[in-house]
Amino acid sequence: MARADKVEKVAELKERIAASQALLLADFRGLSVHDASALRALLQDSGARFVVIKNTLMKRAADESGMEALGSLLEGPTGVAFVEEDPVVAAKKIVEATRTFPALVLKGGFVEGRLLSPEEAQRLATLESRDAMLSKVAGMLKSEMSRAAYGFQALQSRFLSLLGAFREKLPQEPAGDDAAVEAGGDAAVAVSEATESEATESEATESEATDDELAGEGVTDNATAEEEAETTEGSS
């Protein structure tokens, strides 16, 4: 392979590594072309792409991608599954394929920045898938929300019950008290109105008396004036 072709191939592998959630490596010695095609189709359904790559090119791409530890698995014929979706589902598919194709051997993997040994890669396949775990978490959350809602309703019911019992224990105010208070209020208003009326009548009486006095003074002044006029005429 020409140098330019190698550089292009390494760049392509780096792009696949960057787009992958995990890498699973397998030894495919003894696998027929038909079996390899069936394996690719099986893994493709789980969101993974199985590719046979030269170890030197894969090691260089891994080193340049910060996966130097992956070089320890690149011994002998190696096929790499680039997992773009759930690594657990892809690992289950590979383990299932090893039962169908005994020549296929899982060598390990690289998941979340960590190198997996063959045993760890096998255990990965025994875990629950992401969808299953999310479904379980959602079920737990729903159960907790239902329990919280039930507890709130029970607390509210207990509070209303205690409130009703408290009201029953309060002393009942007699109806006559309210009537007496209202009657007392009406009497006070009546007394106030009578007082204001008497005050108004008193003021009117005083005003009339004042007018009479002023009228009397006017008559006296007129008589005095007439007497003074007669005296003046007599003197003349």
DSSP designation for 66: T
CA–CA separation, 125 and 37 (whole Å): 22
Task: Judge whether 38 and 99 are in contact, CB under 8 Å.
Answer: no
Residue ranges of the domains in the chain? 3-127
Instruction: Give pLDDT, residue 5.
Output: 87
Strands (E), 100-156: 105-111, 114-116
C-alpha 84: how far from its chain's center?
A: 31
Task: Give me the percent of the chain exceeding a pLDDT of 90.
Answer: 37
DSSP string, 34-53: HHHHHHHHHHHTTTEEEEE-
Q: For the residues 99-107, what does the mean pLDDT come to?
A: 91
Q: Is the domain 3-127 a CATH 3.30.70.1730 member? A: yes
Instruction: Give pLDDT, residue 214.
Output: 45
Q: Check pLDDT > 50 for residue 234.
A: no
Q: What is the pLDDT of residues 203-218, one digit of tens each?
A: 555 555 555 544 454 4
* pTM of structure: 0.55
Q: What is the pLDDT of residues 18-39, one digit of tens each?
A: 999 999 999 988 888 888 888 8
